[in-house]
Structure 1
C-alpha cells in the first residue's frame, strides 16, 4: 500500500488508516497496539471466518432481521474475498487479545469496506457482526477451520500414505526383517506385513 492515509473515526477518536485499505479504525488500532510480530492469522482461518459471516447474513436474511440490500452486499463481499487474494487487507498480528476480537473486527471492516466501495452502506458492527460475539464466532471459526484442514489436508495425506504402504507392501514380500516389540528385537517378520499393518491402522483411523 502507498504511504498515503485517510482519517477514520471510532469511539476512541480519529486514527490514520492507509488510503487503499479496505479495513477501518479498529483494525488499524489493533495493528498499532499489537505491533510485536510479523506473523498473521492463517488464511485458512480467515476463510472460515468469512464463510461464517456469509452464513450469518443468509440466516438474518431468512429471518428478516437484516435488510435484503445489506444481506446481498455481505454475501457478495464474502464471495469476492473467498475467490481472490485480499491478504494485504488482513494485517492484524497473530498475537493479540485472547478473544480474537481484533481479527473479528478486521473481517467485519473489510466486508464493510468492499460493500461501501460498491455504494452500499454496510456497518461492520450492526450488519456484518449482527447477532455475533467474538466469544462465539472465533471458536466457531476454529472448529470450521479444523474441519476444512481435516477434509482438505489430513485426509488426502492419509489416503496417500495408505496407498503408498499398500504399493510398497506388494513390492517387499521377499524382505525379512527383525520385528520390534517394546523397543526390543522380536521375531522376524516380512516387511510387507509391517507395511500392511500400517495401512490398516491408518485406514481404521481415517
Structure 2
C-alpha cells in the first residue's frame, strides 16, 4: 500500500494501482449501479486528455519531458490497456469530477512510471497541476461524452444501414409474393411481401439518417471553458489549439462553441441524440411486432412468413418455437425509451452555469447506443437474414379476402362492389367466383385487373389491357 492525501485527509491506495486518492473516495461514496464506465468513454477521456497535453506543450505551458510521458500514458488509456484502473461507478455526484480525477491520476502515475519515478510522486507530476492543466471537469466531461457518443453512434448507424440492406434483399426476394394488406388489423387491399420489407428498409435508413443529423451538434465542444464558461486559467491560444488537437486525435471535426457559457451550462444537445434513439426504438418495435404477427401460428395464425427457429419455445409444449429475436428487440427498445426519460430529467435539472447531472445522461445515452446496436445486429443476423415466405399461405389468405374488391371500383362501381363484398362475407364465398358466376366480369378481365403488378402500384389496374378486352368483346357482340 501507499499513502496519498488530498485536502480532506490521507488514504491508503493499493501500491499497484494507477488511480489515486480521489478515485478511492469515489469508490467509497458511489456504490450505485455495480458497473464501471463504458470502455469507449474511458477511451474518449484518454483522447481529450491527450489533446489537452499536446495543446499545452505546443503553446509552451507544459514541459515536454513530462508532457510526452503523459501523452504516452494517454495512449495506453486509449488502447484499453488501463481500463481496469477506472473503477468508479458511472452514476456519481460531482458532475463527473470523479471521472476526471480518476483519469488525471491514472495519467500521472503511468507517466511517473514511464519516467522511472514512484507512483504517487505528485510533486513531480501532479493530477491537478499537469494532467488537468488549462482544464476543468466542466469542459473535460461534456467533451468526453461527445467523443464517446460519436463513436457509439457510428456503430449504431452502421448496424441500421446493414439491417436496411438485409430488408432490401428480402424485399427483392419476396417481390412477387402477393398477399393481403391490413389496416386496423382488418383485411385491406393487396400488397406484396416484398413491398412490406422494402418499407422496413426505408424506415431503418430514415432512422440512420436522423441519428447522423442529431450527432452534428456533438462536434461543437466547450474545451477551454473551464469552470463556468469564462475560460478562467485557459490561454486563448490553448482554446484554439486544443480544438485542433482533438480533431487530430479523434478523427472527428470539432469546433469550439461560439458561446462557452451556454455550452457549459446547457446540455440540450444530448436530448436531440437521446430522442433520435427513442424514435429509432419505436420504429424497431413496430417492425418486430409486424414480423411476430406475420409469423404467428404456424397452424392457427397468419403464418405468412417463417422466422428462423432459434430455440425451443416451451418447457411444457413440445415442438413450440417462439419468435424470441423480435421479442428481445422489443424489450431492448422499451429500455431505450426509459433511458430517454432519464436523460430528459437530467437535462431539465441543470442550474445556473452547470448541469451536474451529466453522469446519468452519459450513462443512459451510452447504454441506449450500445443496446440498440446489439439489438439491431441481432435482429439482422439471427432473424431477418433467415426469414422465408410462406407463398401458399399468402395466396390462400388473399383468395379468401374481400379486400381485392377495391381494385374493381373503377370498373364496376362502388355500389356493385359493396353488394358483392357483403354477399361474399355472408356466404363465405370467394369474390372471384361470385364475379364470374354473376357474369359481372370474365376470368380474362379478372386476370388483368387482379394481376399482382397492377394491384400494387399507382393507377387504375390494367387500364389499357382492360380497354382492349372490352373492345374485343364489343366487336364480338
TM-score under structure 1 length normalisation: 0.89
> How far has the Cα of 1:159 moved from its partner?
2.0
The answer to whether the aligner puts 1:70 opposite 2:66 as a matched pair is: yes
Q: Distance in 2 between matches of 1:127 and 1:197?
A: 55
RMSD over aligned CA atoms reads 1.8
Match of 1:90 in 2: 86
Q: Deviations over 1:127-165 (max 9, x none)?
A: 1111111112111111111111112x1122012101101
| Partners of 1:40 and 1:91 within 8 A in 2 | yes
| Partners of 2:62 and 2:130 within 8 A in 1 | yes
Match of 1:189 in 2: 191
Match of 2:133 in 1: 130
What is the DSSP-based 3-state SS (H/G/I as helix, E as strand, rest coil) of the residue aligned with 2:10? strand
Deviates more, 1:117-126 or 1:13-22: 117-126
What aligned pairs does 1:148-167 form with structure 2 within 5 A after superposition? 148-151=151-154, 153-167=155-169
Change (3 A) 1:179 1:91: same
| Partners of 2:46 and 2:74 within 8 A in 1 | yes
What is the DSSP-based 3-state SS (H/G/I as helix, E as strand, rest coil) of the residue aligned with 1:103? helix
What is the DSSP-based 3-state SS (H/G/I as helix, E as strand, rest coil) of the residue aligned with 1:189? strand
May I ask how many residue pairs the two structures share in their alignment? Answer: 201
| Partners of 2:174 and 2:193 within 8 A in 1 | yes
| Partners of 1:73 and 1:122 within 8 A in 2 | no
Q: Which of 109, 113, 117 is residue 113 of structure 1 equivalent to?
A: 109
Q: Distance in 2 between matches of 1:61 and 1:184?
A: 69
Q: Unpaired segments of 5 or more residues in structure 1? A: none
Q: Distance in 2 between matches of 1:148 and 1:191?
A: 35
Deviation beyond 6 Å, 4+ runs, structure 1: none
Q: Which of 140, 144, 148 is residue 145 of structure 1 equivalent to?
A: 148
Q: Distance in 2 between matches of 1:181 and 1:135?
A: 51
Q: Which of 22, 29, 32 is residue 25 of structure 2 equivalent to?
A: 29
Q: Distance in 1 between matches of 2:140 and 2:106?
A: 16
Match of 2:200 in 1: 198
Q: Distance in 2 between matches of 1:39 and 1:157?
A: 25
Match of 1:18 in 2: 14
Deviates more, 1:116-125 or 1:178-187: 178-187
> How far has the Cα of 1:71 moved from its partner?
1.8
> How far has the Cα of 1:183 moved from its partner?
6.1
- Using CA pairs under 8 Å that are at least 6 residues apart, name the structure with larger relative contact order, 1 or 2: 1
| Partners of 1:109 and 1:124 within 8 A in 2 | yes
